[in-house]
Amino acid sequence: MLVWTVTIVIPITPFSYIQPIMVGGGPGNWFLVGYLLYAAVGVGGFGVFSSFLFAVEIHERRAPSDKIMLAGLILSFIGVLSSCLLLGIAGFSGGYAIVLEHSTTDIAQNILSPYVNPITAASLVSVIGTGTCLYGMAAAKATET
């Protein structure tokens, strides 16, 4: 998150191209959505997840399976990270073509379209990971005190 934020505000080429691309709209919105989703889901989502896990382990005194939770966490992390990065890369590439190279929207669309299926697949991986974690918390067994 920190790296992505810093690259947006650095006034040095090639990073200085990012702000005009975001302002240009279209693919720049893909870039912005990738960034905002990473901030909301990648940072906030994992924070909320940690709160729920804390409640299950401390307040309810239940212990989720380490294997299930680890698998879910890895899938969630990979899914969120890859989908957000792909959104950012696609948005930057398409936005660069429109804003800085003055290409047509058809060319930008051709740049963006190959990213749709990988982003969808990565999003599904994050959903599967989140579902796995929720299952792990729901199936947690009571601990003996």
Closest CA to 53 of 133, 142, 129, 145: 133
Closest CA to 72 of 134, 4, 1: 134
- What confidence tens digit (pLDDT) does each residue in 68-119 have? 999 999 999 999 899 889 989 998 899 889 888 999 988 988 998 899 889 8
Give domain limits for the chain: 23-142
The overall pTM is greater than 0.85: no
Q: Which residue has the tokens 């997840």?
A: 49
Dist CA 81 CA 63 (whole Å): 27
Inter-residue contact 143 to 75 (CB < 8 Å): no
* pLDDT for position 14: 74
* Banded model confidence at residue 24, pLDDT cuts 50, 70, 90: low
Dist CA 44 CA 142 (whole Å): 28
Which residues, including other chains, have CB under 8 Å from residue 91's CB and lie 6 or more apart? 21, 27, 28, 29, 30, 31, 32, 33, 34, 112
Inter-residue contact 76 to 133 (CB < 8 Å): yes
